[in-house]
Structure 1
């Protein structure tokens, strides 16, 4: 069973089509990159997968559960890190995570155990009492990842999780997610516009102006496009002229 199956999904904002017959699937226990320029439709797709928007055309299934027909079962299997910061800055790390645990029906004693465990996982142990506003951008992102892991979902969605962070913070967060996939067997679906966040062994879904331009292992995409690397392949696959200046983290 696929961790995520997207079949024939289209979505429009008025007359503007943001997604056009998007189809792909990702296997369990894998790290998959959704690669696309800004405006390619990545956030719209994530909004549909997370049921912020209703799916009117096509189907989305999370471990076999249709997000439109059985949203509770599908969402229970998702951990989501949105692009925008979503921590309550006036609450402590513990309070932010405890509130999320209560939304998932996790009792206080178990919640504390899970909170300690996920903070250790994201290398933020010992920060329970810190106010969220006292944390750096990278630390806030780690707490948001910890929060997404609290209910032990088998699939993580991360929408531009390193946006606005420095190189060291980006590398640390990305490495942490890759370790989770390897150690815990979860699946991660990582949306980015940065070529540097793609490894040769990754499965990559290239989204260009709302359409799937490639869906394969990175090495296969490079070979199929006759490129020397994924950066050059991405530039060839994207129709926007700006794609020739592929963005890399600096």
Structure 2
């Protein structure tokens, strides 16, 4: 565990009645790192994101973002955070610009500054030409790119993405991954990327395997498995071993 983490989760637990959705979960996302959160459906990935974004209050443990404890300094912590949830949340009856400007206003960004920021972000995601189009006219991949732009409107330093490429075609998936990796490489953004699509993960990425609410493996993605073992094969083996201790 690094003291200089962008995101630090320490011994977090969360239950829904008798079911433990998260059980003593601890993890770090390093500054300027791309970290992949791997887990099958029901592993607890979305619950963890809900705790980190304060949609749920963690019942045990502690979460901090760039050293700001979420329970004691929520405004400072969340100001450093951008989020792309799995569910689509753009207003399809508004234009791309209207969606982004509305989000900018929620962050207290003045309209003139918001328009300038929107222009820069649409350039970043390659959709400047769709600025005045209604969201309902966009493809699924284009909508996802707009959601990424929206998550960056307030200049966060940490970005959470909950299975952002689910349901997209191969080309759209590749575009989304490339945009986010460019943000890490060029702007030093820290990223926690939840997925079960192994092709989106590079060997040098940090990887965290979550299964049944517990961390069952962690480390450099290229080192998670045995020598020569593909990450997908290592993942299937690890989650098939319910008694395995966290690495």
Secondary structure of the 2:225 match is helix
Residue aligning to 1:133: 136
Unaligned runs of 5+ in 1: 242-250
Residue aligning to 1:12: 15
8 Å contact kept, 1:5–1:62: yes
TM-aligned CA deviation for residue 66 of structure 1: 1.1
8 Å contact kept, 1:114–1:150: yes
Paired residues for 1:193-204 under 5 Å: 193-204=196-207
Secondary structure of the 1:222 match is coil
Residue aligning to 2:57: 54
TM-aligned CA deviation for residue 68 of structure 1: 1.5
TM-aligned CA deviation for residue 220 of structure 1: 2.2
Paired residues for 1:49-198 under 5 Å: 49-198=52-201
Secondary structure of the 1:126 match is helix
Unaligned runs of 5+ in 2: 243-247
Residue aligning to 2:216: 213
Question: How many residues of Structure 1 are paired with residues of Structure 2 in the alignment?
Answer: 239
TM-aligned CA deviation for residue 141 of structure 1: 0.3
Q: CA RMSD in A?
A: 1.2
CA distance in 2, matches of 1:37, 1:240: 14
8 Å contact kept, 1:227–1:233: no
Counterpart check, 1:45 vs 2:45: no
TM-aligned CA deviation for residue 195 of structure 1: 1.4
TM-aligned CA deviation for residue 199 of structure 1: 1.1
CA distance in 1, matches of 2:55, 2:142: 26
Residue aligning to 1:245: none
- TM-score, structure 2 normalization: 0.94
8 Å contact kept, 2:202–2:222: no
Residue aligning to 1:239: 240
CA distance in 2, matches of 1:61, 1:204: 19
TM-aligned CA deviation for residue 124 of structure 1: 0.9
| Shift in alpha-carbon separation, 1:227–1:209, aligned structure 2, 3 A | farther
CA distance in 2, matches of 1:111, 1:240: 50
Give CA-to-partner distance per residue, 1:188-218, whole Å, 9 cap, x none.
1100011111111110011011100111101
TM-aligned CA deviation for residue 20 of structure 1: 0.6
8 Å contact kept, 2:204–2:220: yes
CA distance in 2, matches of 1:40, 1:159: 13
Secondary structure of the 1:3 match is strand
Residue aligning to 2:245: none
TM-aligned CA deviation for residue 175 of structure 1: 1.1
| Shift in alpha-carbon separation, 1:11–1:27, aligned structure 2, 3 A | same
